[in-house]
Structure 1
Amino acid sequence: MSYVKPPDFVTAMVDAGETKAFMSTRDTLIRSFMAGAVLALAAAFAVTVTVQTGEPLLGAVLFPVGFCLLYLMGFDLLTGVFTLVPLAVLDKRRGVTVRLMLRNWGWVFVGNFAGAMTVAVLMAIIFTTGFSTSPDAVGQQIGTIGEARTVGYADAGAAGMLTLFVRGVLCNWMVSTGVVAAMMSTSVPGKVIAMWMPIMLFFYMGFEHSIVNMFLFPSGLLLGGDFSVGDYLLWNEIPTVVGNLVGGLTFVGLTLYTTHARTGPSRRVSPPEDEEPAAPTAGARTPVLAERRD
């Protein structure tokens, strides 16, 4: 069977966290750059589908293609390492320290942002025919997304900030579930199906994903969105990163690790060693040992 049981894939989660903590800076940057770029292309694809068909659900159904591709190729998202690397620290894997964990997070953030920003510039060229015309319908929609999810939150004040944070928490609850889901199967179809479901859910629900936003909001600024870099950082990216960290680590990493790798004591009561086995009840069948014949 291709299904991997929870105790086994939780061990794989900790192993993955350890591997990522020790990964070289070069490999970390390359893998995170490509992850940010592929996810950004998937976001552009989903927005294009939504605009051209008028059906947001179809865009959400198709968006996970990018997520599945990047994880099958072994690339890294910040939302994933938020969940996996701390488990190696908690498991006290040899040499894995908080400093290594923070180093990994920092380089993955840089790589994801560079990849998403690269795609944002390339797609802006397409949406504006090399910046020679006004943005097309898809470009205009991306600019609107940027305004609604920065200035829109700011207009609501503290309530807007709380809403933004909670959307970030819920987002990485689902995204990290997708990361873990890739470890639940040994077959490619099994991995893809398991990853597809939570990613489709987060995208359609409009939850806040820090790497997707690294594409959408810089794109919005390039395409004439009515918000500033400060609006983007304060009223989206920074709270979203914090929410993503809390959601992935709390609701996915720690819960799975606690109940499958560090399980509590069983409530099963064993009989004392000097206690005689209970006599069989009437009608109960007792095992019969076959007579050995030489």
Structure 2
Amino acid sequence: MSYVKPAELAQSMIEAGQSKVLMSTRDTLIRGYMGGAILTLGAAFAITITAQTGEPLLGAILFPVGFILLYLLGFDLLTGVFTLAPVALIDKRPGINIAGVLRTWGLVFLGNFAGAFTVAIAMAIYFTYGFTSEPSAVGLALSEIGHGRTVGYAEHGAGGMLTLFTRGVLCNWMVSTGVVAAMMAKDVIGKVFVMWMPIMLFFYMGFEHSVVNMFLFPTGLLLGADFTIGDYLIWNEIPTVLGNLVGGLTFVGLTIYVTHARTAPKRVPLTRPNGRRFASHHARVPAELLEQHVR
């Protein structure tokens, strides 16, 4: 069968998290670099489609191409590692500790940023003929995204920061769902299908993805957008990273782990002396009724 049941899925998540934490520094950086580069090439592609056609939905439908390719090639994103590494720690897998999890997060962050920044430089050159002309229409669209998603949030103060953080939470709820859902399928077509849906949703809804933003905002700065590095860090990247961590770990990693890897005992179906049937947790069943049930 091509479908992996939730209980098996939970174990696959734990094993994947353990593998990522125990991975060598070299491989972690390489996989992080390529994950950031391929994902952001997909983002550049989707934004190009949107700018040239005026159809945001079309861009969202095509954006998952980059995510799917990097996943199938075994590369890593910070958003996915936020979800998988902690479940291996919570499960007390051998060799997994808090320092190891933090190390993995840090290395993947560096790799993702390096890959995304490489693509940002390449796209800035591409959109300006090597910085010899004004940005193309797509370059201008990228610049506007950077301005709107930094200064635009800052204009709303605390409400803007809350909105930014919430969009980060919602983003990695969907992105990590895509990462985990891919483990439910054993064939390529199945993996592609289940990854496509949540990734398309997050992109079209305008949620905040820390790795995509590692490309969008440096590109905007290289093209002369009207915001600063400080604006980018304070009014986007840092809150987005925190939101991504909370969203992926809380709504995907912990929920699946708790209910499928550490499933609570089922309620016991019993019959009272008066003939009425009921179900209760083992700890709440009267001893005499439990004995009758066992007999």
Report the TM-score range of the alignment, normalised by the length of the smaller protein.
over 0.9
The residue matched to 1:158 in structure 2 has which SS? helix
Q: How far apart, in 1, do the equivalents of 2:126 and 2:88 lie?
A: 42
1:24 & 1:245 partners in 2: Cα distance?
A: 23
Alignment of 1:1-294 (within 5 A): 1-269=1-269, 272=290
Aligned equivalents of 2:268, 2:190: Cα separation in 1:
34
Report Cα offsets for 1:125-147 as digits up to 9, x if no partner.
00000000000000000000000
C-alpha separation in 2, matches of 1:33 and 1:195: 21
SS in 1 for 2:268: coil
Q: CA–CA distance in 1 between the matches of 2:53 and 2:2?
A: 37
Distance in 2 between residues matched to 1:276 and 1:209, nearest whole Å? 53
2: CA distance between counterparts of 1:251 and 1:218?
A: 30
Residue 275 of structure 1, CA deviation: 6.0
CA distance in 2, matches of 1:52, 1:227: 24
Matched with 1:282 is none
1:166-217 Cα shifts (integer Å, max 9, x gaps): 0000000000000001101000000000000000000000000000000000
Aligned length: 277
Distance 1:46 1:272, change over 3 A: same
Name the aligned partner's letter for residue 209 of structure 1. H
Question: What SS does structure 2 have at the residue aligned with 1:219?
Answer: helix
Q: Larger helix proportion, structure 1 or 2? A: 2
Helix, strand or coil at the partner of 1:183: helix
- Give the drift of 1:269: 3.5
Q: Which amino acid aligns with 1:38?
A: I
| TM-aligned CA distance change 1:61 to 1:276, over 3 Å | closer
Structure 2: runs of 5 or more not aligned: 271-288
Name the counterpart of 1:283.
Answer: none
Offset at residue 272 of structure 1 (A): 4.8
Q: Distance in 2 between matches of 1:275 and 1:128?
A: 78
Pairwise CA distance, 1:95: 1.4
Give the whole-Å Cα distance in 1 for the aligned partners of 2:183 and 2:214: 26
Structure 1 counterpart of 2:74, one-letter code = G
Partner Cα separation in structure 2 for residue 60 and residue 202 of structure 1: 8
State the AA in 2 paired with 1:49: I
CA distance in 2, matches of 1:276, 1:95: 42
Q: Distance in 1 between matches of 2:111 and 2:260?
A: 32
Q: Displacement of 1:265 after TM fit?
A: 1.5
Partner secondary structure for residue 100 of structure 2: helix
Percentage of pairs with the same residue? 70
The one-letter code of the counterpart of 1:149 is R
Aligned-partner Cα distance in 2 for 1:247–1:272:
41
Please report how far the alpha carbon of residue 273 of structure 1 lies from its aligned counterpart in structure 2 after TM superposition. 5.6
Gaps of 5+ in 1: 278-294
Tell me, in whole angstroms, the C-alpha distance in 2 between the residues paired with 1:239 and 1:269.
48
Match of 2:275 in 1: none
Bigger Cα Rg: 1
Q: Distance in 2 between matches of 1:119 and 1:144?
A: 18
What does residue 280 of structure 2 align with?
Answer: none
Partner Cα distance (1:215, 1:65) in 2: 16
Aligned to 1:292: none
C-alpha spacing 1:160/1:275, structure 2 compared with 1 (3 Å): closer
What secondary structure is seen at the aligned counterpart in 1 of 2:81?
Answer: helix
